[in-house]
Amino acid sequence: MERFDAIVVGAGPAGLACAYTMATDGLSVLLFERGKYPGSKNMWGGAFFGPQLHALFPGWLEEAPIERVVTRQVLGFLSEKGSVSLDFTSGRFAVPPYNGFILLRAKFDKWMSKKAEQAGAIVASGMMVDDLLIKGNRFAGVRVGKEEFPSDAVVLAEGVNGILARKAGLRKELIPGDVKQGVKEVIELPRSVIEDRFKVRGNEGAALEFVGTCTRGLPGGGFIYTNKEGLSVGVVVDLAALVKERLKASDLLESFKAHPDIQKLIDGGKTVEYTAHLIPASGVNMMPKLYTDGLLVTGDAASLLLGTGLILEGANFAVASGIAAAETVRAAREKRDFSANSLSSYPEALKKTFVLQDLETFREAPIFLKNKRIYGAYPDALVETFETLFRNDGKPRKKTFRSVREIVRKRIGLKQLLIDAWRMRKSV
């Protein structure tokens, strides 16, 4: 039976980046993906930020299946019938590596898997890993059905559920408070319509994110990303809040789409795809142990996702962690030592990058973002403020500060505003 230097479980960005890096370094690599093909089971369709791909695949922009380049970023606050938006554009966004790229993972992961295969990795799709092999005091391969596949090291990039990581004793069972439920539709629209509605042209793209009534006041938000000829539209909501309120994320998506200002953006579109996915949301507060004898955990399986309220980044963290895991395995192979002591350099490598530094910087953000006022009282107060400022009802106007103070006092309370501002400063 053939023995591999390393086996990777999961063909998402983390697993593919890891397999590609190890294969490029000359290691024999076997990558398992339970879907029919890499990307087939992933709901993610949004903006991929970070320079990691530029370092991993020089010249990748000329060949990768990119939908659009993010040149416009919108943060919207929705009340029941109105909205206030912060609309940001910058010429620097169009210059790599500062920009984000709007992707559809079903296409992009297939492209990354071909790059991994070209580098020498074997990609086995449609095969689910059932268990880990143990030899002596370390993990030494995987089992698929009744067939065993031995290796010197195993890298788990299996996603947020982390079944094998739990079996290995590296992580606990997921609890609703640590994850968010994401649901997304791909809505077809002609390219000309997208460019007209979203004020983009050529390969330019827009990323729009919303908080407020789109989640009926529950922690979470809605999003719209412009593809070449369609939109990725969805909501991401705290799972514990959904369970408590006995709501379905799919119902919130329908409410989001029905909002007057959102309805205008998707009008005339045809839904061609619907997907759902769990997202790790508690950052370092839910991070498992990242390594043990013969085994490493990376990507979503390691809860390496950053959510600050303004940004939700995971794919670039996944790629960076996959590369770090690959470099750790390569160093272990050179020493012929795959013990936990040898693999302990993996989290140390992550600490030297933005991955663990960013997650540590925003450690308190997931807790702050459970504040329901962010998704109800504050969007309502913003919309009411602008309604008041721009409304002419024939009556004498009040000074702006006085009007704002009255709205804040009614909607939130001045003391509560100060408390929330202090907590936000500490968190984000």
Tokens of 194: 């997208």
**Domain annotation covers residue 83:** no
Residue 211 sits in the same domain as residue 274: yes
CATH number of the domain encompassing residue 223: 3.30.9.90
Q: Distances from the Cα of 226 to the Cαs of 101, 202, 260, 272, 314, in angstroms?
A: 10, 12, 19, 15, 19
**Domain annotation covers residue 79:** no
- CB distance 134 to 150 below 8 Å: no
How far is Cα 270 from Cα 284, in angstroms, rounded to an integer? Answer: 39
- Residues of the chain short of pLDDT 50, as ranges, are none
Residue 142 sits in the same domain as residue 239: no
Residue 59 sits in the same domain as residue 150: yes
**Domain annotation covers residue 21:** yes
Give the model's pLDDT for residue 50: 67
Q: Hunting for tokens 């002609």 — which residue is that?
A: 190
Q: Distances from the Cα of 325 to the Cαs of 6, 79, 138, 376, in angstroms?
A: 11, 44, 17, 41
Residue 40 sits in the same domain as residue 168: yes
Give the model's pLDDT for residue 169: 95
Give the model's pLDDT for residue 94: 64
In terms of Cα–Cα distance, which of 349, 355, 352 is closest to 327? Answer: 349
Give the model's pLDDT for residue 1: 64
Residue 126 sits in the same domain as residue 264: no
Give the model's pLDDT for residue 30: 98
Residue 202 sits in the same domain as residue 315: no
Question: Among the three residues 323, 352, 381, which one is the final residue of a domain in this structure?
Answer: 352
In terms of Cα–Cα distance, which of 290, 222, 204 is closest to 261? Answer: 222
**Domain annotation covers residue 394:** yes
Residue 183 sits in the same domain as residue 218: yes
Residue 138 sits in the same domain as residue 200: no
For 28, the domain range is: 4-67+104-172+288-352
Please tell me whether the overall predicted TM-score, pTM, comes out greater than 0.95 for this model.
Answer: no
Question: Among the three residues 258, 280, 302, which one is the final residue of a domain in this structure?
Answer: 280
Q: How many domains does the chain have?
A: 3
| CA 189, 195, 199, 200 torsion-angle sign | positive
- CB distance 301 to 156 below 8 Å: yes
